[in-house]
A and B are shown apart, each in its own frame.
Chain A
């Protein structure tokens, strides 16, 4: 089934484009902004950045541990490094550097995990990054952000420049529609409510938020009004919005393009099981993916509108 056919709007935006545009924009305003990458100028969509800011593009080659260490050293010198690399290698290969050189040492850098989740489709689990959210949110002092669309991506990039400590920012590759209403101010650390509803809540993040919206439309046709939250900041988590949603809607489905063991759904459950336990379903990627395109794999794991609808109905019945 085509996802796009069930979306509220056509899925036409690659968030890497908005990312690169906003990064260039903040770099023009703030000379502290530099990029560190691992031969990933093309895959991070940074060709124009590297031409405009040649001296502020530090390409260390295929060496992720060095890449993050170098970023910490640049932060020590007062720079704000944006570390841009494919999410699986940035988060997995350089995890100890992220923990020690940035988080524990207290240095600020923006870790841009490009093409996360199963975005690399047929390249397989070596290139999928489903563990990153769980790994990164386990590290003290790390902010974890998973923007859903170009507007949230721009907002997160701009916010991250002035943050402190490491910020892990997932930059999706899977095409999405604009879901953020025009004129919305990006509020880091909040769960953005993008649809009202009182029968259940769907908490989604990243490229799956628009699929959650599509599911909500289907549910509405059956008389169920789903609240949809875009949890673009997984850590620190907006506990108040989640507790309110649990109180007001009584049921929660989480939807993420990452592992169900320790990912965003787990983060939501950690809050709710202690403050407002309600029936939950955690949808995500439960194991290494088989061969297939990103779109196929998301559908395969029930991360399409139909799968979300199914989980929601089970929860309500």
Chain B
């Protein structure tokens, strides 16, 4: 019997994977070319574009997790346009930095950033969660370049990231690993298995970023299953921690780029769920509520887009 070398079903039925865009503005290069002092300002402008793209994408699809998308927008923008090394035209470049969105339900935010980073054309966002679209409600690496792991079930990103960091060390590569976690997600025990392993191994090439917006699907994290004192927990597992304003691009840049030889770093990014849109901010019902047409218009006005 023939044993298949590649499994045709692994990527799921449906359309072909997306491909990188030729041409278009290289935003990461623009940020890198700017005076260091001006970079946060450029990132802030890109982040607003990301937010507008999220709101349009979720509004059009009538589907999404807009609250968490907006809270993590500045973290993702800072990483993709100010920190990570990658080649959109060569997504499997072995020495790329690894980025894992463990809170995979915020796929619309990731897709918005990936399209701006030229991993695929912005027009593909029109297909978000449409039948047979490559852009599923949670990211699929077999369909979407720039995605490393098919996240969605919570508590999977950090163990995967630990493996990536161990692999980089084995390969004597300088590449780094960034895992973005939801705060509610930290109630999954697998995160702490991975945190313990990373601390034990002193994985200085690993950064975990917690999108600390304080809300989970049903209520505040602290009313559901308390996370605080959160930074103390990470430190107890052998990590270096930094608490930052998760909407301050200067602080995020500093937290993501400072060297941390010999210990993994956890950046607790204090954020506001729904940040940037007044009627969504810090409201539990906007975990996966979808804005109406009028609300999309209002949101875009508030964002100035």
Looking at A67-75, A170-178, A200-208, A278-286, the stretch in contact with chain B turns out to be: A67-75
Interface contact B153-A70, CB-CB below 8 Å: no
Q: Which residues of B contact A165 (CB under 8 A)?
A: 7, 10
Per a CB cutoff under 8 Å, which of A75, A81, A97 touches B159?
A: A97
Q: Select from chain B the residue with minimum beta-carbon distance to A188.
A: B3
B145 smallest CB distance to A (angstroms): 14
Interface contact A72-B7, CB-CB below 8 Å: no
Interface contact A100-B150, CB-CB below 8 Å: yes
Interface contact A77-B7, CB-CB below 8 Å: no
Asked if A22 is at the interface of the complex by the 8 Å CB criterion, the answer is no
Q: Select from chain A the residue with minimum beta-carbon distance to B159.
A: A69
Interface contact A189-B1, CB-CB below 8 Å: yes
Given A69-B158, A106-B141, A238-B163 contact (CB < 8 Å):
no
Interface contact A100-B197, CB-CB below 8 Å: no
Interface contact B168-A77, CB-CB below 8 Å: yes
Q: Select from chain A the residue with minimum beta-carbon distance to B164.
A: A73
Asked if A76 is at the interface of the complex by the 8 Å CB criterion, the answer is yes
CA distance A275 to B166 in the complex (A): 48
Per a CB cutoff under 8 Å, which of A69, A70, A104 touches B150?
A: A104
Interface contact A164-B5, CB-CB below 8 Å: yes
Within 8 A of B (CB), among A222-250: 233, 236, 238, 240
Q: Which residues of B contact A36 (CB under 8 A)?
A: 163
CA distance A36 to B164 in the complex (A): 13
Interface contact A70-B159, CB-CB below 8 Å: yes
Q: Select from chain B the residue with minimum beta-carbon distance to A63.
A: B193
Given A78-B94, A106-B141, A66-B197 contact (CB < 8 Å):
yes
Q: Which residues of B contact A71 (CB under 8 A)?
A: 163
Q: Select from chain A the residue with minimum beta-carbon distance to B179.
A: A73
Interface contact A101-B3, CB-CB below 8 Å: no
CA distance A236 to B161 in the complex (A): 30
CA distance A73 to B161 in the complex (A): 6
B200 smallest CB distance to A (angstroms): 8
**Per-residue interface assignment for chain B, residues 271 to 293, with 1 indicating a CB less than 8 Å from any chain A CB and 0 otherwise:** 00000000000000000000000
Asked if B33 is at the interface of the complex by the 8 Å CB criterion, the answer is no
Looking at A54-62, A255-263, A309-317, the stretch in contact with chain B turns out to be: A54-62
Interface contact A60-B3, CB-CB below 8 Å: no
**Per-residue interface assignment for chain B, residues 182 to 214, with 1 indicating a CB less than 8 Å from any chain A CB and 0 otherwise:** 000000011001101100100000000000000
Asked if B127 is at the interface of the complex by the 8 Å CB criterion, the answer is no
CA distance A310 to B6 in the complex (A): 42
Q: Which residues of B contact A55 (CB under 8 A)?
A: 170
Asked if B155 is at the interface of the complex by the 8 Å CB criterion, the answer is yes
Given A65-B159, A73-B164, A103-B1 contact (CB < 8 Å):
no
B135 smallest CB distance to A (angstroms): 16
B240 smallest CB distance to A (angstroms): 20
**Per-residue interface assignment for chain B, residues 145 to 170, with 1 indicating a CB less than 8 Å from any chain A CB and 0 otherwise:** 00011111101101111111111101
Asked if B2 is at the interface of the complex by the 8 Å CB criterion, the answer is yes
Q: Select from chain B the residue with minimum beta-carbon distance to A56.
A: B170
A199 smallest CB distance to B (angstroms): 25
Interface contact B167-A106, CB-CB below 8 Å: no
Interface contact B1-A77, CB-CB below 8 Å: no
Interface contact B160-A72, CB-CB below 8 Å: yes
**Per-residue interface assignment for chain A, residues 83 to 104, with 1 indicating a CB less than 8 Å from any chain B CB and 0 otherwise:** 0000000000000110011011
Interface contact A76-B197, CB-CB below 8 Å: no
A144 smallest CB distance to B (angstroms): 12
Q: Which residues of A contact B9 (CB under 8 A)?
A: 140-141
B6 smallest CB distance to A (angstroms): 5
Per a CB cutoff under 8 Å, which of A73, A100, A141, A233 touches B10?
A: A141
Q: Which residues of A contact B10 (CB under 8 A)?
A: 103-104, 106, 140-141, 165
Interface contact B162-A73, CB-CB below 8 Å: yes
Given A97-B156, A100-B150, A101-B149, A73-B5 contact (CB < 8 Å):
no
Asked if A105 is at the interface of the complex by the 8 Å CB criterion, the answer is yes
CA distance A143 to B1 in the complex (A): 13
Interface contact A164-B7, CB-CB below 8 Å: yes
B98 smallest CB distance to A (angstroms): 7
CA distance A69 to B133 in the complex (A): 27
Asked if A163 is at the interface of the complex by the 8 Å CB criterion, the answer is yes
Q: Which residues of B contact A44 (CB under 8 A)?
A: none
CA distance A72 to B166 in the complex (A): 11
Per a CB cutoff under 8 Å, which of A72, A140, A233, A240 touches B163?
A: A72
Q: Which residues of B contact A79 (CB under 8 A)?
A: 167, 170
Asked if B142 is at the interface of the complex by the 8 Å CB criterion, the answer is yes
CA distance A105 to B197 in the complex (A): 22
Q: Give me the interface of B with A, judged by CB distance under 8 Å.
A: 1-7, 9-11, 94, 98, 140-142, 148-153, 155-156, 158-168, 170-171, 189-190, 193-194, 196-197, 200
Q: Give me the interface of A with B, judged by CB distance under 8 Å.
A: 34, 36, 55-56, 58, 60-61, 63, 65-79, 81, 96-97, 100-101, 103-106, 140-141, 143, 159, 163-165, 187-190, 233, 236, 238, 240
In the complex, given contacts A72-B163, A101-B160, A238-B1, what are 13 additional A-B residue pairs having Cβ atoms less than 8 angstroms apart?
A34-B170, A63-B194, A66-B162, A69-B190, A70-B159, A70-B162, A73-B165, A74-B164, A77-B164, A78-B171, A100-B153, A104-B140, A105-B149
10 contacts between A and B (CB under 8 A): A65-B193, A66-B194, A69-B158, A70-B159, A76-B163, A78-B94, A100-B156, A104-B140, A105-B150, A236-B3
The 8 closest A-B pairs by CB, nearest first: A73-B163, A69-B159, A77-B167, A66-B193, A63-B193, A70-B163, A189-B1, A65-B190
